[in-house]
Structure formats: structure tokens, C-alpha cells
Chain A
Amino acid sequence: AAGVIQSPRHLIKEKRETATLKCYPIPRHDTVYWYQQGPGQDPQFLISFYEKMQSDKGSIPDRFSAQQFSDYHSELNMSSLELGDSALYFCASSHDPPRLAGVGQFFGPGTRLTVL
């Protein structure tokens, strides 16, 4: 079965650079979630999209922005990178609208971002 695809899998950047992470949800999943997992930490919700509109926002820095495109893939744009942005970034998708019952979220393998 098709899974959530994230690219790149690994990314190394310098401080103050920018990074773009991409997420391709499972086919027919129109809700996408982004999570950040710092070293030894639990995943923290950043932002979510449903039908190409932002549906919820968590602890996402103002330096970060995200969007969902017409083909439902999503991109997380990160600017002015800081050392503390080094983390594993997960994308998850669901075929349920955020406020309706369903089968839960399916996670991608993550993008490991290292900021030097």
C-alpha cells in the first residue's frame, strides 16, 4: 500500500539558510499534518491543512510557513534557520477532515534536518 512520502530524507543546512521540506500524502488523503521531533523529545504539532486551507496551527515559529497544493502535497518552508531547528520533521496524512471521525493519521518516515 502507498505510504506518505517525504523528501528529502536528510538535509544539512547552515545557520540563517532556508530549507524546504516536502510531503506527499497517501492518495485520496486530503488532510496533512506537520510535526517536529527534537532529539529525545516527543513530536510536537506544527500546522495542518485540509483541502488546501490551513486548518490548525500549533507551535510553529513565524520563520516557518507551509502550504498545501492542488495535488494535496504540502511544503514546509523554513527560513533564517537556527541551531535549535535541528530535528526530525514528520508529515502525516489522513482521509478524514480534521473535525470528523476517521481512522487516524499515517506518518511519513520524516526528514532529518541538521543545522550547523
Chain B
Amino acid sequence: AQSVTQLGSHVSVSEGALVLLRCNYSSSVPPYLFWYVQYPNQGLQLLLKYTSAATLVKGINGFEAEFKKSETSFHLTKPSAHMSDAAEYFCAVSLNQGGKLIFGQGTELSVKP
């Protein structure tokens, strides 16, 4: 069975600092992995996705993630945090890009001035 674990339900960084949100997955077959962002009272917006091509994936708003099969990880990073990055971030896995998504528990990112 597939599952996703996000380490840390809340992460706080200073503006301009590195953002690192952790995601580990378990899957019996090569997965497709996604990061979504959710702003308060809004829907989920796709940040980036891994689909078995390049292991380093670049997304919108300066975010990127690296797929590491040996570590079963897909951590999300951004070199310099901006106040507008404050939101809830969800890692998700799917056996294929069209199938249902299994979400992690979410990580709330706070950015301090």
C-alpha cells in the first residue's frame, strides 16, 4: 500500500532563509510524487511533480524537490523564503499520474519577517 509521511506538522523560517519541507513515501512500485500548496480557505495548487524523468524537479514560485529512491524521500526546498510562501504544504503520492492521490498530513509553513 502507498503512504506518505511528512515530518513536522509546522515549520517556521525567517524571511530569506532556506525552506526545507520533508516528505517520505512508501510504495511497492515506482510512484508519482506531488507537492501541493494550500492557502487559507483556498483549493490545492500544484507546485511540482515527479514522474520518473529527472530526479530534481523544479516547480513554481522557486520551489524544487529531489526524488531520492534510496531514501524514499521527496523533500521540498526553496533557497530563500518569502512572506507569501506562508501556507499549508501537502506531499502526495499516486501509482500513476491519473490515479487517486494519497496525501501526507500536511506541513504548515510560517515565515517570520
Contact B98 A98 (CB under 8 A): yes
Q: Give the A-B pair count, Cβ closer than 8 A.
A: 68
Known: A42-B90, A42-B104. A108 touches B97 (CB 8 A): no
Is A109's CB within 8 Å of the partner chain B?
Answer: yes
Smallest CB gap from A50: residue in B: B98
Contact B45 A101 (CB under 8 A): no
The interface residues of chain A lying within 8 Å CB-to-CB of B44 are 43, 90, 92, 107
Bound Cα distance A107, B37 (Å): 11
Contact B90 A43 (CB under 8 A): yes
Bound Cα distance A57, B65 (Å): 30
Residues 98 to 115 of chain A near chain B (Cβ within 8 Å): 98-110, 112
Known: A42-B105, A43-B103. A110 touches B98 (CB 8 A): no
Residue-wise, chain A 76-106 has the 8 Å CB interface mask toward B (1 for contact) of 0000000000000010101011111111111
Measured CB to CB, the closest approach of chain B to A113, in angstroms, equals: 14
Interface of B is mostly: loop
What size tier do the contact residues of chain A reach?
A: 20 to 34
Known: A42-B104, A45-B101, A104-B34. A98 touches B96 (CB 8 A): yes
Interface of A is mostly: loop
Smallest CB gap from A91: residue in B: B43
Contact B43 A100 (CB under 8 A): no
Known: A96-B97, A103-B97, A104-B34. A110 touches B103 (CB 8 A): no
Bound Cα distance A48, B32 (Å): 18
Bound Cα distance A106, B43 (Å): 9
Measured CB to CB, the closest approach of chain B to A71, in angstroms, equals: 20
Contact A99 B99 (CB under 8 A): yes
Contact A42 B106 (CB under 8 A): yes
